[in-house]
Structure 1
Amino acid sequence: MNITVDQRPHSKVAVISSEDVVISSVNDALDLMADIRYNHECDKVLLRKEQLTEDFFELKTKLAGDILQKYINYQLKIAIVGDFSGYNSKSLNDFIYECNHGSNVFFKGTEAEALDALHGA
């Protein structure tokens, strides 16, 4: 895993690069959060959909809710980049829609859209 920082005036986003799954549990998410905060001094993170376990996108596992609640509680904004059209779950689509209308969690199609959302949040 590699972490780079995308910086704009008054905003820094940690961009995660990895071919592997980075978050497969709440503890993985907390470890990543600590790394981003303390080693990179960021309070915003961009991940690709493939860097999250598929269980994240099965809302009945409650993994997405548990992870995202931790990030919100610790005031870390997150954007997840990818194509979410392959998921046929109405509840997941509703969840993504609601997140995109907030200011803490974003699901975006491109890295540029995700960076704009995070830097603007």
Structure 2
Amino acid sequence: MKKIFAVMAGAVLSLSACMAPIAERKLVPMTRTQIQEVERAVAYKLKDPSSAQFREIRMIERTHQDGTVSTLVCGQVNGKNSFGGYVGFTTFNGVFNGNAFKPNGIGTPDNSWLYEATCNA
């Protein structure tokens, strides 16, 4: 799990270095189909996909100072570990590639700073 967090943090930091600073963020409504695709893709990454519980799934449109626009989907997921116990809600984020959602990573319960930095609108 720490390896996933390290990769996710590295990806966010490297992407932020490549993109212009964000001038504006706003929430974008999601369709039920989009939410279902996010839940399917994230649950697939869990040890027990059928145990997935989701909250605070949202899509954020970010307008950068250079005028480019990027979209990020964020949320929190809880799932069972190998022992059958829930681990606690962890953050995730990702992007849509056409109609398919591609998670960038699923964090750990102690990486809320990363969620706050990338997912607040």
Q: From the two aligned structures, give the one with the greater helix fraction.
A: 1
Greater RCO (CA < 8 Å, at least 6 residues apart)? 2
Structure number with greater Rg is 2
Q: Same fold (TM over 0.5)?
A: no
Q: From the two aligned structures, give the one with the greater strand fraction.
A: 2
TM-score (normalised: structure 2) = 0.28
